[in-house]
Structures are given as C-alpha cells and as structure tokens.
Amino acid sequence: MGADTTYTITVTRANSYGSSVGTMTVTATDVAPAQTNLTAWTKALDFSGSSEHGVQVTNNSIATPLNMGGVNTQVSAPTTSGNTSADASARAWATGIVFKYDGNNSNQHIWNLGEGAGSTDDNIYLRLDASGYLYFGWGRQGDLNECRFIYLGTNVNTNHWHGIYIAHNGTRLSGANATATNLADAFDIRWFTTNYTGGVFGSSMDNKSTVANWTAGSTGGRMDRQFTGNFTVGGRGSNRNFHGKVASMIVTTLRTNVAMPTDAEITEMMTDPIGWLNDYKVGNTFRYASNANETTFAMNNFNSANATQVWLMGDGTSDSYANGMRNEVLPTDQNYTKLQLNSMVSNDIETVNINGLT
C-alpha cells in the first residue's frame, strides 16, 4: 500500500498597496488509495543461475496445459477472428508471469515446457538473451519459431518488475505455413512493467505478437510435433537458468471456439491472480488440460486445478520451502500441480514490494 503524503500550503493576503496583511497555513493529507488486490504480492522466488529451478511434479498431460494433450498434428486457424480455434484438436492456452531480472548477460529461460537441450528436443518458452531481448519461442534447434518482442537491456531495467502474458489460440502450423503473418495471428503477447506510467506496475496493452517482431526472431518451424518433458520456472530444466526473482506464474487452458481473453481479463490475471480466479474462473465453464471436454470450474477441485495453475511463489495458502509452491486452485495437491524447488534453499523465498501491486 502506498504511503500517505502531507502537504503544507501557506497563503499570503496583500492589500491594494502590495503590503502583507496576514498569512494562513493549510495542512492537508493526501491519502493513497488502498490496494484492492486479493493477491498479496509480498513474496517471490529468487533464482541465481546454476541449476536452480522450480519444476511441476508431473508432466502427465492431464495436468499440463502447455503440452496440449500430447497432440501431434496441425490445427486449423480460428474460423472467427479473435476466437480460439474451432478445430477438434485445438488445445489453446494462456500464461502469465511476473518477474524481475538482475542484468546477468546470459541466455536464460524464464519459463519452459519441453524436453531439454538436445538437437531434437522441442520446447515452448519465454527466454531472455545475453543482450537483454525477450523472446517467446516454439520448436527445436534448427526448426524454430521465435518472436523477439521487448528489449529490456542489461543493467538498465533491473530495478523494475515485468509481467509477460502469452496466449495461444490453438493454431498449429506446418513449417511452410509458419510465416510471420500466420504466427502473429496465432498468439497474443502483452507486456506489463513498473517501468510504465511513472514506475507503478501497469500495462502496455498493445499485442506484441506482430509480423515485425516475429520477423526479428525466426520463423518456419513445424508446430505439429508432440511435446513431452516438464514444465519449469527459472530455467530450461537444469540449464539456461534464470537470474532474478519470480513473484507469480499462471498457466491455464482456453476453451475451443470462444473469444480470446479480453483486455480486462488479461489485466486482472496479471495484476490480481486471486481476483481473476474469482471473477473469471469460479462457476464458469473451462476446458480440461488434456482434451476438449468441458465442465464447471471450482476451487479445491482436481480437474480445475489440472487445467489452471496459479503459483504465487511464497504467498500461496500452503507455500513453503518444504511444501514447494502449491497451486492456489488446489493447495493440498502434491502429486500433479505442485512446483518442486530444485537446487534451491529456504532463503530463496524472499520478501518483496512491487510498486502498484503490493
């Protein structure tokens, strides 16, 4: 919550000859508006490279939205502009992460779903290169699609928190069809930062998944291969590890042939994950992680938790070093959606203050 500010104003009254005939001093207190977030935003996981990372305890497709049910086929684009794909094999999803990096000039994966570092290993990821550019990527070495969408610099923005939202409408392209234009249409990428609007966590709501940004990365990679492997935060498994702090990570399924999330939903998802669960998930229809089946979302429900993971990195109901980072949808779950901490210590759960959120 922001601090109150007190102002003292002295007013001098003058007569018609310009001489002072009295002064009056007024003191007023400007009370900063209370934060209305249901999410505390007081904790974060600190990653310092090496092999430190958090890993979801299972890679079973029933609980891993980003492996898209193990589907290994091309998926047609939406029939209605602005919707998710209507294809029966579509497994659309959305992610959101809030992080701060420390300026280390190395190739780092902030989050990753996939198989690892081998030449035939497929991964979906958010990475930061040694020059300070952020990339979203899909594919494997030599057959890759990457969108280079933000320049954060090195040792420049290290005092600022950033939020990256990435959503996929379900389209999966052949290599020949994975053009910058088609890739731009398949994703929605937003950037939130405390570097915006005077240092308070806000949003840059224009979609960064543009033809120019995909052209700045790479295109032409097949999107129809099956994804296995693990979901990790803070690295690509035990390599390309992140140097910085992560305050939250969200992964969720999107339904088939419906409108993509609105600006209002994206903003709440990124700035108040608990409020987002209450306003956009609970009581509404959702898609299972592994298939196109749908049912009603509820907290403390197994299927709901497998389709939506909300990790608050220390602020969660059952979070601790011993417990790992628990999914706020079902905090008691230890076998499917818990984020296990590898090569980390208890002090890596740190107290933070994020301007505009905490």
Query: What mean pLDDT is predicted for residues 198-202?
Result: 71
For residue 210, which of 200, 222, 219 has the smallest C-alpha distance? 219
Cβ atoms within 10 Å, residue 26: 9
Note the pLDDT of residue 170.
98
C-alpha distances (whole Å) from 277 to each of 56, 156, 163, 169, 231 are: 20, 34, 18, 20, 21
Q: In whole angstroms, what is the distance from residue 51 CA to residue 325 CA?
A: 18
CATH number of 37-351: 2.60.120.200
Q: 225-238: per-residue pLDDT in tens?
A: 999 999 999 999 88
Please determine, for residue 136, whether its predicted confidence score (pLDDT) is greater than 70.
Answer: yes
Q: What angle do CA 325, 327, 328 make, to 5 degrees?
A: 110
Percentage of residues in the chain with pLDDT exceeding 90?
81
Note the pLDDT of residue 201.
81
Please determine, for residue 158, whether its predicted confidence score (pLDDT) is greater than 90.
Answer: no
Kindly indicate the confidence band of residue 194, based on its pLDDT and cuts at 50, 70 and 90: confident
Note the pLDDT of residue 311.
99
Note the pLDDT of residue 33.
45
Kindly indicate the confidence band of residue 7, based on its pLDDT and cuts at 50, 70 and 90: very low
Note the pLDDT of residue 150.
93
Kindly indicate the confidence band of residue 224, based on its pLDDT and cuts at 50, 70 and 90: very high
Residue bearing tokens 């295109």: 219
Q: In whole angstroms, what is the distance from residue 17 CA to residue 37 CA?
A: 56
Q: 226-273: per-residue pLDDT in tens?
A: 999 999 999 998 899 999 999 999 999 999 999 999 999 999 999 999
For the record, the structure tokens of 61 come out as 């497709």
Note the pLDDT of residue 157.
61
Note the pLDDT of residue 198.
56
Which phi and psi angles does 250 have, rounded to 5°?
-125, 135
Kindly indicate the confidence band of residue 35, based on its pLDDT and cuts at 50, 70 and 90: low
Among 187-191, 203-207, 282-286, 330-334, the range scoring the smallest mean pLDDT is 203-207
Note the pLDDT of residue 16.
43
Query: What mean pLDDT is predicted for residues 93-116?
Result: 95
Full-model pTM: 0.90
Cβ(7)–Cβ(28) below 8 Å: yes
- DSSP assignment of 250-304 equals EEEE--TTSBPPPHHHHHHHHH-HHHHIIIIITTSEEE-SSSS-EEE--TT-HHH
Per-domain residue ranges for the chain? 37-351
Among 14-18, 67-71, 193-197, 302-306, the range scoring the smallest mean pLDDT is 14-18
Query: What mean pLDDT is predicted for residues 76-92?
Result: 98
199 vs 209, residue with greater confidence = 209
